[in-house]
A and B are shown apart, each in its own frame.
Chain A
Amino acid sequence: MSDLVGSGNNMPGPTGPQVLFTSVDEFLNWGRTNSLWFLQFATACCGIELMQTGCSRFDTDHLGMLPRSSPRAADVMIVAGTITHKMASRVRTLWEQMAEPRWVISMGSCANAGGPFSKYSYSVLNGIDKLIPVDVYVPGCPPRPEALIDGTEALKERIRKFQMFGIRDTEAIVIE
């Protein structure tokens, strides 16, 4: 039997039936961390840094992160930019359309806390955590692509501990 399995394999390495023992959660989380597709949702200048993060210099593709145009196909929502009161209901709708398990990264000062508009603006929502639960806050105005990638790495640490039937960790991570 071992000869049969190994005979067609020209690669060097151990021969024989290759079996991997793991738990369901760990196996699914391995897949989730390495294919973290994000929703294209850019409302302001942070969106430019988000595009730069996805382009060839920083290249989130090699981290398994692909931009998705539909919330149905996305795992993580990166809220990049200012959210106004009028936009707020749309943000909530998009988040509700995403399939579980879903995560949220708040990118930049506007999405975190209102940013430069927090004091005197009549139209800007001071932080998206009033609408949707946020997993990772990435500060900056706008954050550099390195900071956003740092945020996604912190999120991956959280996803590795994710349990399908366990208690979900809801405390937000703040990238410094």
Chain B
Amino acid sequence: MKNADLFSALLEVYPDLSTETSETGEILWIVPAERLTDVACTLREDERFAFDSLMCLSGLDLSKYPAAVKGEFVGELLACVYHLHSFEHGHEAAIKVIVPKDETASIPSVEPIWAVAGYFEREILDLYGIAFPGNHDPRRLMMPEDWVGHPMRKDYQYPQNYSTWELKREGQNFTSGPYA
């Protein structure tokens, strides 16, 4: 099935979902965080979709996003994009879940549905600070466990030191230059 047909099939079950087209022309299905578990179960179990593989789970910081894309969401945002693939049908889809950017940002874990999500979610928890209630091992993955902050957030303040050594980074905190 083509992506548009897949989405219309999904709309039969969940009529209130919407889509978004990315800069590269990819169609993302916007799913509210509280409905993600239901939608993911449907996508995995329903014969028409049969998404048996979670290819990739990425985090995003939408701080620099144009206001028009945010739609009903206000303020600083974080997002997760789930890239799904079906070995049975050979089709693909992408789901986007948007959450407010604060210390309570959380998305229900899809680890019970796709076991591979466990490590992906730990990585996003580490780098973006989104909690995944339901993950069986919610610890940091990349950084040491006593590290402060989430490095991939746009407003991340790089610490001056860690353990027994000083940390120095050119253009620290990126208030100017190409990475600002």
Contact = CB atoms under 8 A, between A and B. Distances in A.
Interface of A: 84-86, 88-89, 119-123, 125-126, 130-131
Interface of B: 142-144, 147, 151, 156, 158, 162-165, 168-171, 179
A86 B142 contact: yes
Nearest to B166: A130
A125 B143 CA distance: 12
B163 A119 contact: no
Contacts of A121: 169
A126 B168 contact: yes
Which 5 A-B pairs have CB atoms at the shortest separation, nearest pair first? Answer: A122-B151, A119-B170, A130-B165, A86-B144, A85-B144
Contacts of A120: 169-171, 179
- Determine chain B's interface SS by DSSP, over half rule: loop
B152 to A, nearest CB: 8
- Determine chain A's interface SS by DSSP, over half rule: loop
A134 to B, nearest CB: 14
A88 B165 CA distance: 11
A3 to B, nearest CB: 67
A122 B162 CA distance: 11
B168 A85 contact: no
Contact of B158 (A89, A122, A125, A126): A122
Nearest to B144: A86
A21 B164 CA distance: 48
Contact of B143 (A86, A89, A130, A131): A86
Given A85-B162, A89-B144, 17 more contacts: A84-B142, A85-B143, A85-B144, A85-B147, A85-B163, A86-B143, A89-B163, A119-B170, A120-B170, A120-B179, A122-B156, A122-B169, A123-B143, A123-B151, A126-B168, A130-B164, A131-B165
A88 B151 contact: no
